[in-house]
Amino acid sequence: NAGVMQNPRHLVRRRGQEARLRCSPMKGHSHVYWYRQLPEEGLKFMVYLQKENIIDESGMPKERFSAEFPKEGPSILRIQQVVRGDSAAYFCASSQGDRAYYGYTFGSGTRLTVV
């Protein structure tokens, strides 16, 4: 069981480019959460997805950010037209369900740098 796999580990994008961050949950986990950690700040919730459904996107910026979790394949966090302020570590966590007793497994994160 490989755990939660995030790739790439590091991503450098120029301003205006698109960034695609991937998260493969643990085997048997159908719930995925994305969190963002801005420099010198704490982790903040972005979006919660189940297979083919966005359940809660209350933490997503209104523009340029989107997320999906297709029936097959990893969950994708997409940032269009990146700006310097998007530079952060993006973490994905997966769970068997949305009940607290399931617990979470985190990935190693993707460090996005916008130059």
Partner 1 sequence: KNEVEQSPQNLTAQEGEFITINCSYSVGISALHWLQQHPGGGIVSLFMLSSGKKKHGRLIATINIQEKHSSLHITASHPRDSAVYICAVSSGNTGKLIFGQGTTLQVKP
How far apart (Å, rounded) are the C-alpha atoms in residues 6 and 83? 22
**25 vs 109 by CB, closer to partner 1:** 109
Say whether residue 8 binds partner 1 (CB under 8 A): no
Stretch that binds partner 1, among 18-26, 60-68, 74-82, 97-105 (CB under 8 A): 97-105
Torsion 107-46-75-86 (CA) sign: negative
**What is each CA distance from 29 to 6, 26, 52, 72, 102, in whole angstroms?**
15, 5, 13, 13, 10
Site for partner 1 in 22-81 (CB under 8 A): 31, 33, 35, 41-45, 48, 55-56, 59
**17 vs 105 by CB, closer to partner 1:** 105
Residue 110 beta carbon to partner 1: minimum distance, rounded to whole angstroms: 11
Place of tokens 């991503």: 11
Residue 16 beta carbon to partner 1: minimum distance, rounded to whole angstroms: 27
The amino acid present at 101, given as its one-letter code, is Y
- Are 32 and 23 contacting, i.e. CB atoms less than 8 angstroms apart? yes
Which residues sit at the interface with partner 1, rule CB under 8 A? Answer: 31, 33, 35, 41-45, 48, 55-56, 59, 91, 93, 95, 97-109, 111
